Structure 1
Amino acid sequence: MRGLLVELGASLFARGYSVGSAGNISVRLPDGYLMTPTNSSLGRLDAARISKLDAGWNHVGGDKPSKEVFMHRAVLTARPEAGAVVHLHSTHATAISCLASPGDEAPIPPLTPYFVMRVGRSLPVVRYYRPGDPAMEGEIHAAALGARAMLLANHGPVVSGRSLVDAVYAAEELEESARLALMLRGQAARGLTPAQVEDLLRSFG
């Protein structure tokens, strides 16, 4: 799992989904969690130094975990089926997070089936908190109870998935959907109908 985390982090970084030391990833294990270390670059992770937390979220190995540990704990405790969380500062999704109002549940319209299949029906916008602020945990937990992904206002996307690969795929799909939404702003774009969205959710969950 450590090797896969390094590989996928490097792939996200190489394609500009994170820059510098921005972004962080967590993975649920049978006995706890793996998390990218604080101030680490997703493009240059060292498998041996990835943070290990026990089932009670205590740091037990590797480098000090990301300061966003509260965010990851909020999502993974709200969604017991989730195996991983990916938080990025990807350009287009972050742009939407600066345009949308906190409390908005659908800042990106359902333009494509894969947005619905990977992200879901709801994409709540959580009001701004400074990075690493533990006060964010309650609101993120509440949002995660009803949504696989969310946008943090003026900050970026937080995406969960059943596995690390699923979470990365969903984060990538969210970024591409945000790019499409921005490209089509002001145009008479044809979105999916409510019936088409329901059909996708019934078929793919």
Structure 2
Amino acid sequence: MSERELRERMAEHGRSIYDRGLTAGSSGNLSVRLPDGMLVTPTNSCLGRLDPDEISRLDSVGNLLSGKPPSKEAFLHLAYYKARAKETAVVHLHSTWSVAVSCLADLDPKNVIPPITAYFVMRVGKLPLVPYFPPGDEQLADAVADAAKSSRGALLANHGPVIGAATLDQAVYAIEELEETAKLFLMLRGLPTRFLTEEQQEPLLK
């Protein structure tokens, strides 16, 4: 895709995410990797009303080249890309069910949500928990980069999910799958539940 097409696709996905209540107000951010930097949603912007021309264009170290000032979490996206060379898009939301899971006290930090469905395993896989950092704290970048070494997604404690993929479409589908699985996880808590076995997961992870 051309840069123009990527900008329009970001606005299209942002509007869809917002209209379906997956993030609210000016929360959440999207980015797409470019050969010499990235496009990222501007700070204090509503995903439901993104102007493609105002999307921030940054160089490879985070300097603003054009558009509005970037999201204060742009550093998180840059750190993710450095850790995962094959991913070209990142989505970070404050989606309700995933945030709810991120606030629970008894989570496995290496894999927050068990393998409930095949599509969760295929699109997300293992989901580590990143410790809590205040919004904008650049220590979060190192923590996300560390988590990204072993997984394409992570859940930020008391904050929300971040996930990347080879394309923006795939990253959005993955975070949507994560949100639905987080909902299932909370619905099933306390009930006898049959999770996928390691043998069942193996072909899905491939």
- The answer as to 2:69 corresponding to 1:68 is no
Deviation at 1:100, TM superposition (A): 4.7
Q: Among residues 75, 80, 83, which one is paired with 1:78 in the alignment?
A: 83
Deviation at 1:73, TM superposition (A): 1.1
Deviation at 1:54, TM superposition (A): 1.4
Aligned to 2:145: 141
Alignment check: 8 A CA contact 1:111 1:192 kept: yes
TM-score, scaled to structure 2: 0.95
**Counterpart of 1:169 in 2: which secondary structure?**
helix
Q: d(CA) in 2 for partners of 1:171 and 1:40?
A: 20
Deviation at 1:32, TM superposition (A): 1.5
Q: d(CA) in 2 for partners of 1:70 and 1:161?
A: 17
Q: Say if 1:43 and 1:193 are closer, same or farther in 2 by CA, change over 3 A.
A: same
**Counterpart of 1:99 in 2: which secondary structure?**
coil
Q: Say if 1:56 and 1:104 are closer, same or farther in 2 by CA, change over 3 A.
A: same
Aligned to 1:53: 58
Deviation at 1:101, TM superposition (A): 5.5
Identity %: 54
Runs of 4+ in 1 over 6 A off after TM superposition: none
Q: Say if 1:183 and 1:102 are closer, same or farther in 2 by CA, change over 3 A.
A: closer
Q: d(CA) in 1 for partners of 2:107 and 2:143?
A: 11
Aligned to 1:24: 29
Alignment check: 8 A CA contact 1:38 1:67 kept: yes
Q: d(CA) in 2 for partners of 1:26 and 1:151?
A: 17
Q: Say if 1:103 and 1:142 are closer, same or farther in 2 by CA, change over 3 A.
A: farther
Aligned to 1:124: 128
**Counterpart of 1:72 in 2: which secondary structure?**
helix
Alignment check: 8 A CA contact 1:50 1:63 kept: yes
> Alignment RMSD, CA only?
1.2
**Counterpart of 1:28 in 2: which secondary structure?**
strand
Deviation at 1:190, TM superposition (A): 1.1
Q: d(CA) in 2 for partners of 1:67 and 1:152?
A: 16
- The answer as to 2:112 corresponding to 1:112 is no
Give the gaps of 5 or more residues in structure 2.
1-5
